Amino acid sequence: MTTPFWCLLVGCLLPYILTGVGAALRKGALGSLDNKHPRLQATRLEEGAAARALHAQANAWEALPVFASGVVVAHLASADVQTSAYLAMGWVAARVVHGIVYLANLDMVRSLAFTVGLGCAIGLFVVSM
């Protein structure tokens, strides 16, 4: 398996990791986890770390299709292997930082991490030309 494919696997796991973090924070914020109605319980989170974890998870899911598409296109187009690997690793690094700074409520750094990750994903399409 290529480095971009390994990075894609990591990218698929990131939302689940954020789900676990969010569950722990939600339990702390609301006193318990409602596994029967987790989405209904999540609507009670208006602000704080638990709400940010929920939003970070959603953003991780939203970023994944663009990256996954870029990885597949780069692979099918036989794009430069080294450049594709660097872009994929850059995307993973940016997305990990994004999740951390989202939880830490560092909005400007979060926006920068989002932009870097998006740039890496778009870069995979560009190197495929």
Ordered by start, the domain boundaries in the chain are: 3-126
Whole-prediction pTM: 0.93
Q: What is the per-residue pLDDT for 80? A: 96
Give the pLDDT score at 117: 98
What confidence score (pLDDT) does residue 25 get?
93
Q: Which residue has the tokens 């969010």?
A: 22
H-type alpha helices, the chain: 3-30, 38-42, 49-76, 81-103, 107-126
pLDDT of residue 42: 85
Cα–Cα distances (Å) from 37 to 19, 23, 44, 54, 55, in that order, read: 15, 13, 12, 15, 18
pLDDT along the chain (129 residues), means of 10: 97 97 92 88 89 96 98 97 98 98 98 98 97
Task: Say what the pLDDT of residue 57 is.
Answer: 96
Indicate the fold that domain 3-126 takes in CATH: Four Helix Bundle (Hemerythrin (Met), subunit A) (1.20.120)
Contact 82, 91 (CB under 8 A): no
